[in-house]
Structure 1
Amino acid sequence: MEKRRLTAFFSTVDIYLYTSLRLICIVCLALLLALLIGNVFVRYVPFTAFYWFDEVVEWLFAWMIFFGAAALWSRNDHFKLEWISKKLSGTTAGHLLACIVELLSLFFLLIFFYQALRLTMLARDWTPVFNIPRRCLYVCMPLSGAIMVCYSIRNVIRELMLWRKEVVQTKTPLPTRNTDL
């Protein structure tokens, strides 16, 4: 019963996290579109200047890209080459390949998370227009990295469980000796 509760809890967290990541991306994209349209309009009807345009676009792009990557990672919807994995699907070699790929991804994401966290902590400068710490811009990198690390751990565990399940199902019982003859 406890396993079901834990699974239900993680499923609920997953749904809310994915929805939040998508919402962040949608809001960032909508704001980028509005700013772009506004900037084009102001060029032809010059009544004000968007002197802060570059700074806001930089923030919105960074947040949209990194949180979008985390959202895609959570659903395994990111770009990947599947030719070999589809050929080996359902085999021991296929599960082994999937585990190796997931472990390599996890290794890369751990390095990314560490370096992004380090960059965020070491950032001391401030944005020129809004005078906001650059850490606020950079925080999207370690956050999205941590999210992707968690999902990679989930993927490794899931793949190992699928592999184990397949091994258990494919084991054939040893032939018994017929002593009744």
Structure 2
Amino acid sequence: MSALVRIDRVVGVVLRAIPVACLVALFFILFGNVVSRTFQIWTTAWFDEIVESLFAVMVFVGAAALWRENEHFRVDWLEGILGPRSGSLLRLVSIGLSMVFLFVMAWKGYDLASRSRAVTPILGVPTAYIYAVIPISAALMLVYSVRDLIVAVRAIVLSPTNT
């Protein structure tokens, strides 16, 4: 079990480092673009491609990082009102619906990435590499949803009463 904990920690560090690196890169690229446009120092024809790619990676990998730590936005006041057992049942339904969505997202994202034959106009990077972040992040969120599902089932089984 300690090996799984170590792997999870490494995944957590990587999932946090990638969006941070993308955000830092976006900051410097955007700052450089403002400076270059203000003083007409250089042209940045590749600017849009890099910004779109970094933003997509930041959003999808950042979503997976938030999902891993249950830090994403969710309304859980109804779970608290219902009590431990009923709240856990509602959580179970919520996780199940999320898993269906994530499965479709992974499936369609994989389909999009695998069928993509285009390359970016300036840098010539295959768009499939950029689109691959969709199924990868969805698969990671799906794995962590399975973990959440196990926790929710345990809460239902171990709850002494339905309050």
* Global fold match (TM > 0.5): yes
Q: How far off its partner does 1:26 sit?
A: 0.6
CA distance, structure 2, for counterparts of residue 75 and residue 89 of structure 1: 23
The structure 1 residue matched to 2:9, chosen from 2, 5, 15, is 15
The structure 1 residue matched to 2:21, chosen from 16, 27, 34, is 27
Q: How far off its partner does 1:85 sit?
A: 1.2
CA distance, structure 1, for counterparts of residue 13 and residue 125 of structure 2: 27
Q: How far off its partner does 1:89 sit?
A: 3.8
Q: Percent identity?
A: 35
Partner of 1:179: none
Partner of 1:70: 64
Partner of 1:161: 154
Partner of 1:46: 40
Whose RCO is larger (CA < 8 A, sep 6+)? Answer: 2
Partner of 1:140: 133
User: For structure 2, which runs of at least 5 residues remain unmatched after alignment?
Assistant: none
**Conserved in 1, the CA contact under 8 Å of 2:79 and 2:86?**
no
Aligned amino acid, residue 131 of structure 2: Y
Give the alignment's TM-score, normalised by structure 2. 0.95
Aligned amino acid, residue 16 of structure 2: R
Aligned amino acid, residue 81 of structure 1: V
Partner of 2:31: 37
Looking at CA atoms only, which structure, 1 or 2, has the larger radius of gyration?
A: 1
Q: How far off its partner does 1:134 sit?
A: 0.6
Q: Once superposed, what is the RMSD of the aligned Cα atoms?
A: 1.0
CA distance, structure 2, for counterparts of residue 63 and residue 96 of structure 1: 34
1:60-84 CA-partner distances (Å, limit 9, x unpaired): 0000000000000001110111220
Q: What is the aligned residue count? A: 161
Q: How far off its partner does 1:88 sit?
A: 2.1
